[in-house]
Amino acid sequence: MIRVLQIVTYMGRGGLETMIMNYYRNIDRNKVQFDFLVHRQEEADYDKEILSLGGHIYRMPMLNPFSKSYFNALDFFFKTHMYDIVHSHLDCMSAYPLKIAKKNGVKIRIAHSHNKSQDKNLKYPIKLYSKRLIPKYATHLFSCGKEAGDWMFNGKPYTILNNAIDAMIYRYNPKIQNEIRNSLDINHSDFVVGHVGRFNPQKNHGFIIDVFNEIYKKNNKAKLILVGTGNGQQEIINKVNNLGLTDNVLFLGNRSDVNRVLQAMDVFLFPSLYEGLPLSIIEAQAAGLPCVISDNVPPECIKTDRVFHYSLEKPLDFWANKIIEAAQIEKKDTYDEIVASGFDIKNNANKLQNFYTSFCYGE
């Protein structure tokens, strides 16, 4: 059996972490096992499941490219844990663990791009510098999509690994829709807009609230479901309260049943500032939902005829009207479309498993 080291920030319920878990659940774990090198000390959402599937979790200090103690900890780890394959999901910062893995003789070193940009904060110049180092230390480059790969790897060849899902568990089901609405105290006649994503600048939650405020002015039976957590959540809660929308916006936090929660929505709103290839959009389409997204989201994520993308420069009222229009599209079973698009997990997991095993078994 091969043990592959997945290098992440932490295994919370974000898009890339959920993608890794989708693959982990569906590979043949008698042939390939995942271990995780994380950069947080606290327990994360998927940790217990990882342990139950036979994985190990190793904890590093927070990644700091200027910290000698961080690199010493990495060096000690790779000297005391032997891996033939490491797979890093740290975007621009993947260069640093891959550098130490190379130093310690790890044969296969994968850098995986999950975004086509980064937040424009104080760390942005460091990230731009760091991403240029990746080809020096990686043996293989993976990306969730074309735009993310082109941005991260600057013309170097890369392999696209789809952000695949178990399409069957997202399949549209009116019975589940009624069950979830009842559990959330949402009436059958309410108009429900939904979003799934971490509360960080990339996901543009402030814009979501502003658009929903316009929707509410047109329909006071409108409800907004927000799934996720993050550092920016309290700011958004305050904004909701200040607009008088407290009773109409549901903050559900992290959920282990996103596949069921999606069933309660009438339309999915996703106005991100940038994305790689968002898992949430694939999931929403698999649930049969019409989706209204920003044109910053790569068009490769559009796998059904029910996704509509618009510029964030358009007025809030424009967005509100387009969301209301999209909700007139009847939800339907899109399972066959998702499978045909190549985003069901079964075949994708086999491809990744074959990639890993080819280096160790010669398959």
Residue type (1 letter), 353: Q
Class of domain 167-340: alpha beta
Contact present, 98 and 37 (Cβ < 8 Å): no
Kindly tell me if the per-residue pLDDT of 363 is higher than 50.
Answer: no
Average pLDDT of the chain, as a whole number: 95
pLDDT tens by residue, 229-256: 999 999 999 999 999 999 999 999 999 9
If you average pLDDT over residues 132-157, what whole number do you get?
Answer: 94
Q: Which residue has the higher pLDDT, 79 or 123?
A: 79
pLDDT tens by residue, 17-62: 999 999 999 999 999 999 999 999 999 999 999 999 999 999 999 9
If you average pLDDT over residues 165-172, what whole number do you get?
Answer: 95
What's the pLDDT at 315? Answer: 98
What's the pLDDT at 14? Answer: 87
Kindly tell me if the per-residue pLDDT of 351 is higher than 60.
Answer: yes
CATH architecture of 2-164+344-358: 3-Layer(aba) Sandwich (3.40)
Kindly tell me if the per-residue pLDDT of 362 is higher than 70.
Answer: no
Q: State the SS3 of the chain.
A: CEEEEEECCCCCCCHHHHHHHHHHHHCCCCCEEEEEEECCCCCCCCHHHHHHCCCCEEECCCCCCCCHHHHHHHHHHHHHCCCCEEEECCHHHHHHHHHHHHHCCCCEEEEEECCCCCCCCCCHHHHHHHHHHHHHHCCEEEECCHHHHHHHHCCCCCEECCCCECHHHHCCCHHHHHHHHHHCCCCCCCEEEEEECCCCHHHCHHHHHHHHHHHHHHCCCEEEEEECCCCCHHHHHHHHHHCCCHHHEEEEECCCCHHHHHHHCCEEEECCCCCCCCHHHHHHHHCCCCEEEECCCCHHHCCCCCEEEECCCCCHHHHHHHHHHHCCCCCCCCHHHHHHCCCEHHHHHHHHHHHHHHCCCCC
- Cα–Cα distance measured from residue 286 to residue 279, given in angstroms and rounded to the nearest whole number: 11
Kindly tell me if the per-residue pLDDT of 120 is higher than 80.
Answer: no
Structure tokens at 13: 């319920």
What's the pLDDT at 173? Answer: 95
Note the pTM of the prediction, 2 decimals.
0.88
What's the pLDDT at 170? Answer: 96
Kindly tell me if the per-residue pLDDT of 354 is higher than 90.
Answer: yes
- Cα–Cα distance measured from residue 299 to residue 254, given in angstroms and rounded to the nearest whole number: 27
Position of tokens 């059958």? 188
- Cα–Cα distance measured from residue 59 to residue 40, given in angstroms and rounded to the nearest whole number: 6
Sheet with 191-196, edge to edge strand ranges: 249-253, 222-227, 191-196, 267-270, 291-294, 307-310
What's the pLDDT at 156? Answer: 95
Position of tokens 């079973």? 333
Q: How far apart are the first and last CA of the chain?
A: 13
Provide CB contacts within 8 A for 317, sequence distance 6+: 214
pLDDT tens by residue, 171-192: 999 999 999 999 999 999 999 9
CATH 3.40.50.2000 in the chain, residue ranges: 2-164+344-358, 167-340
Kindly tell me if the per-residue pLDDT of 12 is higher than 50.
Answer: yes
What's the pLDDT at 121? Answer: 76
Contact present, 271 and 293 (Cβ < 8 Å): yes
If you average pLDDT over residues 150-158, what whole number do you get?
Answer: 93
The rounded percent of the chain whose pLDDT value lies above 90 is: 92
What's the pLDDT at 119? Answer: 76
What's the pLDDT at 361? Answer: 59
If you average pLDDT over residues 110-139, what whole number do you get?
Answer: 89
pLDDT tens by residue, 255-308: 999 999 999 999 999 999 999 888 999 999 999 999 999 999 999 999 999 999
Handedness of CA 72, 18, 294, 304 (dihedral sign): positive
